[in-house]
Amino acid sequence: MTTAPLRLGIAGLGTVGIGVVKIIRQNAAQISARTGRNVVITAVSARSRDRDRGVPLTQFAWEEDPVALARRDDVDIFVELMGGHEGAAKNAIEAALAAGKHVVTANKALLAIHGQKLAETAEAAGCQIRYEAAVAGGIPVIKALTEGLAANRIQRVMGVMNGTCNYILTRMEATGQGYNVLFDECAQLGYLEADPNLDVGGIDAGHKLALLAAIGFGTRVDFDAVELEGIQNITLDDIRRAGDMGYRIKLLGVAQMTGRGLEQRMSPCLVPANSPLGQLEGGTNMVVIEGDSVGQIVLRGAGAGEGPTASAVMADVCDIARGTRLPVFGQPARSLIGAPAARSASAAPFYLRLLLQDKPGALAKVATVLGQEGISIHRMRQYEHAGDAAPVLIVTHKCTRSQLDQALEAIAALDVVTQTPVALRIEQV
């Protein structure tokens, strides 16, 4: 194995990029001792050359164009930390692979959309694409799936993978403030993406789930097949009522292989309050992996931020420095199967919140509709009247989402229903 320095070119000097620079400056001797090679930065690229980033950068060559950085002869690993699934990031990664460079990236959107093609290109060229930082920040979940659990048949992957959403939901519960107030708070704290819907709409977390599903089930990454539902419609009433019944609401990603195909969904769910996921607070992430031999593994940690995400970037750099070589998605890209998408195929209990007119027979009408769709009621609770209407909560026995959707359409048309019903899946964890 070569002992020549491993030379990095970093494109993107935002929070994570500067975090990588700091780690290399502070821990260079430790990195060298653990990998057998010195890891150095030779060149960088960013939008603004003159901005004060809090660390000296004058010793590095500067490239205005990240594609030119990717092609430099003195760069062994192209570290892409710009973001975006098209344009500069994609062009630069393609240029790096064409030039025979390894790639380390935190770009979940690009890999979720173009991952299969990029993986085939990299593997044909004998190059690595590593992306631990793309999923769950500092949590080493990619390494867990591709290495530690490689001998397991994965049965289910699930988790809370967007810290902003978990922060909003847990703060709603703790403070009694509504969604809009806490959305504004997150904006002021800088927790939201430039396009906030990437966070609160579940898109960011959906990208991450698509990557984990591809690794876990040996399938081609297919973000278009991920069912997405954000947290915008979750109310304080939902959070309080769920709590009354022993649940908490999380934006939960779940991927599992069913008889109909691969089910991938990112949506608000109820989870038991005493479960690891139920106890997760603030901006922390958690990924739960279930394997046929190992059982359930729970990984918890910081899902974002300078240090945790830069740590994940450097984990990939260290692996390459050691000579570790792995297919992008854990097995050769050409062997990945194109699994059919199974939309909400697995049965589960559901939480229903209804507002019914306070008149005899109202609840009986709802129960009749549910029964006609083969849905039975597990438990029910009625709250104090709101004027001439009564809030009613129902927890069903297991049913499919298609069954429930048909029932909800009929329930919404009943003359005793005064508000569009709310339905949330209850995930067994």
Catalytic residues: 208
Residue 275 DSSP one-character state: S
CA atoms within 13 A on the CB side of 172: 29
Q: Nearest 5°: phi and psi at 373?
A: -95, 10
Structure tokens at 141: 């979940």
Instruction: Report how far apart the first and last C-alpha atoms of the chain are (Å, whole number).
Output: 44
Here the tokens at position 281 are 């607070």
Contact 136, 301 (CB under 8 A): yes
- Tell me which H or E stretch contains 244: helix 236-244
Sequence-distant (6+) residues with CB within 8 A of 37 are 2, 3, 4, 5, 6, 321
What number of other Cβ atoms are within 10 A of residue 24's Cβ? 19
Give dist(CA 165, CA 131) in Å, integer: 22
Helix (H) or strand (E) holding 160: strand 154-160
DSSP per-residue letters across 354-391? EEEESSTTHHHHHHHHHHHTT--EEEEEE---BTTEEE
Answer for the pair 134, 111: CB distance below 8 angstroms, yes or no.
Answer: yes
Q: What is the rounded distance in angstroms from the CA atom of residue 213 to the CA atom of residue 155?
A: 10
Q: DSSP letters along 62-106, please?
A: E-SSHHHHHH-TT-SEEEE-S--SSTHHHHHHHHHHHTT-EEEE-
What count of other Cβ atoms lies within 10 Å of the Cβ of residue 383? 15
CB of 386 closer than 8 Å to CB of 357: no
CA 403 to chain centroid: 28
What value does the CA radius of gyration of the chain take, rounded to a whole number of Å?
A: 24
197 and 228 Cβ atoms separated by less than 8 Å: no
Contacts of 119 (CB under 8 A, 6+ apart): 129, 327, 328, 329, 333
Vertex 245, ends 239 and 250: CA angle to 5°?
A: 40
